[in-house]
Amino acid sequence: MRNIKPSILFAICAWSLLILRFGYRYGTGDQVELLPYTLFLHNPSLYPHDFFIQGLHAAIPNERTVMATLLLPFINHLEIFCFIFQFLATIFLVLGLERLALRYIHNKYLAWLAVLIALIPLNDFALGNVEAYSECLQASGVAVAIVVWAINFFLDRKFMLASALISIATFIQVLDGLDVMMVLCAIMLFMFIVKQVPLKTVLGFMGIYALTAGVFLIFVLYKKSAAALPGCTPASHADLFKILFAFRHPHHFIFSSFPKIKMGVYFMLTLFALIFFAEHSSKTFEFVLAGSIGLIIYAFAVDDFQNIFIGNFQFYKITIWIKFLGVIAAVGLAEELYLSNISLPAMLKIEKGGLLALILVCWIIIFKFNQLLPYQVPFQIFGLKEKDDMIAICQQIKETTPANAVFIQPFDNTELKFYAQRSSFVEFKANVRHTCYVNEWYRRMQLVYGISAVDAAKGFALQQKADDNYYTENLWKFNNHSGYGITHMLVKKEYKPPFGTLILSNNSYAVYKL
């Protein structure tokens, strides 16, 4: 341990604190759109009737292709490698954030504090429900860990390296790379206009991206627009906006739907950033200003004009970085105003011994005392996940039902697809965004859960109504279920459907063959 740098130990400590606070997911949550697709690429006989998997694979390449393909070499040891890769992505993210903070905060411990504030209490305070840290391995988490280094290199005037890194990030997660690249291109054009960089530098910066990630984006967009579902009419512009933006993803796209407290905190941090960087860094100030102007344009284009082309950029991803820069600014201002002539107490100087002790305490709590925490988060870490009744019954489903079975499941379920490796008739979390699939997905949501765009609630706030309808004799009436190919139903144990044969149960859940 003597040769390990304090920054590395801090990053491991930050990762441990993040696991303790947010838990860890494997095969559930956001991974419902990634890991099952990786399994399918390895074994195309899986998920023969799954609406999401088959719809996603109708367009190749798609937004999941690169990340899923990168995981294929590790398919036989996916759990351990997902854990390792999530660890590495978090370490690189924390180190990149630390480097960015230390540009403007002189005291190392205050820089560490800024990183922890941004990642723990304020992790989900960017707009559009976007986060720098993810509690599981996913494309966005890897891309963000790359983008932070691209921003650092850009500020170091290593423009070509920054462009190459953002291109790599775009291959992994399209929008996390593309949105930052648009802001950096705006800065580069401004630098050219004021004669801070020559034209060849601007063309080189943009050209590297255009000839790599740009070509990939064209293929993705073309394939997505060409994907067809037999017998299905492509959704109209109005239907696309109503279903994908207003009904399914308002938390990502619709500014007026965002929580007011998050808006307030975010705008306060943006103000801090503009004030602080106006004096400390012209390039960082330009990043915050250009990003903020882009956000205003984006919000009006989506909320007021319902422009789907602009909406697809999900430009709120830029708020990950403006929020963090705002935290840096707030801590930096505090350092200048109150701490510039004050030596921090020795007790705050937590170096190797203190960091190691904190890491050990975190993992003791995670493995031995997580049930005593005052909040509930998933700890799907190796043996701990076996205590989850939903995961347990899904693993039983894999062993006891035919491979071509088609399930309906509770609204919030993300465990079935990966752990049971069975097809789902429809899911709210995993939805296909190709225009030919949108109307059919929406029809199936109405059929199974009885929810629609006319409901007052939107997005995941629909869960209560969806559950009420699912656990009744139900708005879909179970009528003609055989015509849709549905063969099984996963339910809470206390619910007994009007027909069907009970084939599996545990303490919390049951499976009926219809």
| 195: Cβ contacts below 8 Å, ≥ 6 apart | none
Bigger pLDDT: 230 or 391?
391
Give 71's pLDDT tier (boundaries 50, 70, 90). Answer: very high
Tell me whether residue 463 is exposed, middle or buried, using C-beta atoms within 10 angstroms of its C-beta: 0 to 12, 13 to 18, 19 or more: middle
Query: CA-CA distance, 381 to 80, in Å (whole number)?
Result: 9
Bigger pLDDT: 483 or 330?
330
Tokens, residue 457: 């609630």
Question: What pLDDT score was predicted for residue 224?
Answer: 80
CB atoms within 10 A of CB 166: 30
Find out whether 78 and 127 touch, Cβ atoms under 8 Å: no
Give 225's pLDDT tier (boundaries 50, 70, 90). Answer: confident
pLDDT digits (tens, 9 = 90+) for 241-281: 999 999 999 999 999 999 999 999 999 999 999 999 999 99
Query: CA-CA distance, 514 to 497, in Å (whole number)?
Result: 9
Is the dihedral angle over the CA atoms 315, 321, 324, 326 positive or is it negative?
A: negative
Give 509's pLDDT tier (boundaries 50, 70, 90). Answer: very high
Task: Indicate if the pLDDT at residue 226 is higher than 80.
Answer: no
Task: Indicate if the pLDDT at residue 339 is higher than 80.
Answer: no
Tokens, residue 310: 């602009």
Find out whether 55 and 157 touch, Cβ atoms under 8 Å: no
User: Per-residue pLDDT averaged across 183-202, rounded?
Assistant: 97
Beta partners for 245?
Answer: none
Whole-prediction pTM value? 0.94
Q: What is the DSSP letter of 379?
A: B
Question: What pLDDT score was predicted for residue 499?
Answer: 78
DSSP 249-266: -HHHH-GGGS-HHHHHHH
Question: What pLDDT score was predicted for residue 483?
Answer: 62
Mean pLDDT of the chain: 92
Query: CA-CA distance, 410 to 163, in Å (whole number)?
Result: 43
Q: What is the DSSP letter of 306?
A: -
Tokens, residue 334: 């505090």
Give 340's pLDDT tier (boundaries 50, 70, 90). Answer: low
Tokens, residue 504: 């599996």
User: Per-residue pLDDT averaged across 388-392, rounded?
Assistant: 94
pLDDT digits (tens, 9 = 90+) for 136-174: 999 999 999 999 999 999 999 999 999 999 999 999 999
pLDDT digits (tens, 9 = 90+) for 410-438: 999 999 999 999 999 999 999 988 888 99
- Distance (Å) of CA 141 to CA 59, 90, 244: 23, 8, 23
Question: What pLDDT score was predicted for residue 1?
Answer: 45
| 375: Cβ contacts below 8 Å, ≥ 6 apart | none
Least-confidence region, from 231-240, 275-284, 307-316: 231-240
